[in-house]
Structure 1
Amino acid sequence: MSRVVVFGYSGYAGGAITRELAERGHDVLGVSRGADGEAAAVAVRAGSIFDAQLVEEVAAGADHLVVALHAQGEPPLATALPHLSASAVAHGATLSFVGGAGSLRVGENGPRVFDTPDFPEAYLPEAQAHGAILDSLREAPAELDWFYVSPAAEFGSWNPGERTGEFRIGGDVLLTAPDGSSTISGADYAIAYVDEIERGEHRRERFGVAY
């Protein structure tokens, strides 16, 4: 059993990951600006990921720090990365992110999804902000243990899907079905995420999850 801190535990992806962790018997602390003890059967704490002192406090004794938050905002999520990384290293915790699909490539040596002309302009700032976090993680010192999980292109509360327990794991290329679709349910994404927490098969790597 691991001690896992989930920033953004009350959101769509964070909530699914939190439930999966709790069901598997992990010790989970959910952190959110509007912490709600009824949102999940876990310990909760109100606070912000941008509060370096709070991050240091919750990282003490943690095995994993999970970040399931929007990347684009005021301030941008990337501004929390230095103290998140420092706390993770200091306490021997793995730092991981619920990422986006936009930074995946459309094919081997192809452009990133958010660099293609058909990528929706409304989603571009968020996708690029998440891509910048991934770039920063890849440049982080070797002592930082991290992983980053990109979902399928059609992933979100508007397309929750069902729990099947069956999915594919990819690398830096967007996974698509024979019909060209790229989907994953929240529950199955969470299974893949928690599997990684338990198995540690993608240390200092990004991987993708889709049907």
Structure 2
Amino acid sequence: MAQITVLGATGFAGGHIAREAAARGHELTLVSRSTPQDAPEGARIVRGSVLDGDVLAQALDGAEVVVGALAPRGDMEGKVADAYADVAARLAGTGARFLIVGGYGSLRDASGRRIVETDAFAPEYRPESEELLDAYERVAATDVDWTYISPAGTFGAFVPDQSRRGEYRTGGDTAIVDADGVSAISGPDFALAVVDEIEAGAHRREHISFAY
């Protein structure tokens, strides 16, 4: 089993990933500014900001896999790319993997354009998506063993149906859609896919995506 550190463990993606990893017996360190209310039993909790060097050092100590599930909003707006660059610098030479939960806008459409650059992308989400794309480009330029993972377009706590189907499809950096042209995945199934990737290590230094 791996020693996994989850950054942003109280968020939607981070929380689901933590619970899935715990259910499979992995050792967890959860990092959040607030204490997780439903933290898996036995998880080590590091409370504080990833922008605090001492907090980050404690969180990364002994980690074999680091999952970045930070949201670039609120007081983290405009700071996530810097935080992930710091994580990458600290992981350099350790052999630890760094998996980043990115944004749908980082993917490409059928024409090859980044979705965040198209008129179809909602402008209110553009700054957040561009921040995560910047994080991807900066970490990808390092020697760290990274994987950048984009969820489907319909993904998040706002989606009423969060059932676990136990299935998903894996794609590259082009968005996956179903027969009706919909790109979606639930939190539990996205977490299933992420922990499968942690265990298999099948997509190292790649931008991948998960959707139904």
Q: Same fold (TM over 0.5)?
A: yes
Equivalent pairs: percent with the same residue? Answer: 39
- Superposition pairs of residues 34-183 of structure 1, within 5 angstroms: 34-36=34-36, 38-41=38-41, 42-72=43-73, 73-107=76-110, 110-140=112-142, 142=143, 144-159=144-159, 160-183=161-184
Q: Please state whether the residue corresponding to 1:57 is helix, strand or coil.
A: helix
State how far apart, in whole Å, the 2-side matches of 1:93 and 1:56 are. 14
CA RMSD of aligned residues (A): 1.5
Instruction: Give the length in aligned residue pairs.
Output: 208
* TM-score relative to the length of structure 2: 0.93
8 Å CA contact 1:6, 1:18 repeated in 2? yes
Q: After the TM superposition, which of the residue ranges 43-52 and 198-207 deviates more from structure 2?
A: 43-52
After superposition, the C-alpha distances for 1:175-196 in whole angstroms (9 at most, x for unaligned) are 0011111100100100110011
Paired residue type of 2:12 = Y
8 Å CA contact 1:37, 1:44 repeated in 2? no
The aligned counterpart of 2:30 is 30
Flag structure 1 segments of 5+ consecutive residues without an equivalent.
none
Q: After the TM superposition, which of the residue ranges 7-16 and 48-57 deviates more from structure 2?
A: 48-57
- Superposition pairs of residues 187-206 of structure 1, within 5 angstroms: 187-206=188-207
* TM-score relative to the length of structure 1: 0.93
Flag structure 2 segments of 5+ consecutive residues without an equivalent.
none
Give the drift of 1:76: 1.4
Paired residue type of 1:57 = Q
Residues 54, 90 of structure 1: alpha-carbon distance in 2 compared, 3 angstrom cutoff: farther
After superposition, the C-alpha distances for 1:124-152 in whole angstroms (9 at most, x for unaligned) are 10011111111112211x3x111111010
